[in-house]
Amino acid sequence: MKIPYRNKATTANTVFTEMSESDKNWIEQQCNRIISIADRYPTDASRLNDKNPNLPRHNDGIQRGMNTPKSFCEGVVDKLNLPGLKDLSTKQMDGLVEAFRIGEELIEDFESVEFEEVDKLPKLKSVNTVTQEDSGTTMFDLFEVESITVTYGRKES
């Protein structure tokens, strides 16, 4: 999947990016799949639990250690669920490319990711609105009904 993004102007030393919420949701879903598969099949999916020097290092406050695709994805999911700044850094996007590449090699129907820098994010796609044609089929369309008789009674107290 190709995800368009644009760099965000910040005062931080890190370059943060801006992308659509739907793309962030897709990234979160893919990360959750990696986490789930790594937990469910630790032997068959051992590469998801192996330290990977191509992933950004994590910082637990004491030392900087090497991430696994699973631990990296856990960090991304945590970040995307925090209130406030949910924008990914370019370093995190590079890590996602690596983690998703491994996921694609191991998991059936898993999609890798590519990020494409753009000047302007694409417009939002409109939600399908219900039109007369899309509103469904009526009872009269389904059956050749000329009249319907309704019987009702009065409820006695």
Handedness of CA 48, 54, 58, 59 (dihedral sign): positive
User: Do 6 and 115 meet the contact criterion of CB atoms below 8 Å apart?
Assistant: no
| pTM for the structure as a whole | 0.75
Q: Which helix (H) or strand (E) holds 75?
A: helix 69-81
Give the C-alpha separation, 30 to 103, whole Å. 9
Domain positions in the chain: 2-117
The yes-or-no verdict on residue 133 having pLDDT over 80 is no
Which burial class, exposed, middle or buried, applies to 78 when counting CB atoms under 10 A from its CB (0-12, 13-18, 19+)? exposed
User: Do 35 and 70 meet the contact criterion of CB atoms below 8 Å apart?
Assistant: yes
pLDDT tens digits for 60-106? 656 678 999 999 999 999 999 988 878 999 999 999 999 999 999 99
